[in-house]
């Protein structure tokens, strides 16, 4: 008889704990759409004062990143286990870090500093969106 309340408590905890992990995993592997890539390139062109060559190389790198993230997403699309979500996040971060490494060969140090600011601003916006989505409705 006492197992029912324990099971309910466990289900309640999982209901509260699991959604943030799902949102984090989804965000980590979210593949940018072509229009989002174009928007990122346009923003970078302005904020980083990119040359035409840098603009083309950045666009190619962002498309490559999207392809790689799509592959990660596809690889784990049927794995909803905690280990699968962790592996998806780890691989997506590796793809993002690979992009940053390649960008260091395209952008100057000053441009990389500004790129990192742009990246952190995007992460802050994503965190805020997740927070708003997970906030209880009134």
Q: For residues 45 and 55, is the Cβ–Cβ distance under 8 A?
A: yes
Residues 6+ apart with CB under 8 A from 102: 61
Q: For residues 48 and 111, is the Cβ–Cβ distance under 8 A?
A: yes
Binned at pLDDT 50, 70 and 90, residue 133 comes out as confident
Q: Residue ranges per domain, the chain?
A: 28-134
**pLDDT in the model for residue 10:** 61
In this prediction the pTM is 0.73
State the CB neighbour count (10 A cutoff) for residue 27: 15
Q: What is the pLDDT of residues 22-68, one digit of tens each?
A: 444 444 557 889 999 999 999 999 999 999 999 999 999 999 999 99
Q: What is the pLDDT of residues 82-99, one digit of tens each?
A: 999 999 999 999 999 999
């Amino acid at each position: 008889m006492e197992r029912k309340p324990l099971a309910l408590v466990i289900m309640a905890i999982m209901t509260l704990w699991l959604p943030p992990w799902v949102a984090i995993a989804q965000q980590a592997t979210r593949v940018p759409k072509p229009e989002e890539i174009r928007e990122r390139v346009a923003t970078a062109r302005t904020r980083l004062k990119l040359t035409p060559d840098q603009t083309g190389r950045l666009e190619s790198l962002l498309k490559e990143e999207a392809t790689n993230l799509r592959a990660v997403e596809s690889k784990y699309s049927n794995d909803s286990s905690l280990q699968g979500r962790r592996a998806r996040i780890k691989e997506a971060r590796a793809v993002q870090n690979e992009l940053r490494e390649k960008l260091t060969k395209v952008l100057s140090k000053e441009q990389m500093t500004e790129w990192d600011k742009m990246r952190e601003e995007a992460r802050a916006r994503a965190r805020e969106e997740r927070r708003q989505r997970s906030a209880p409705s009134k």
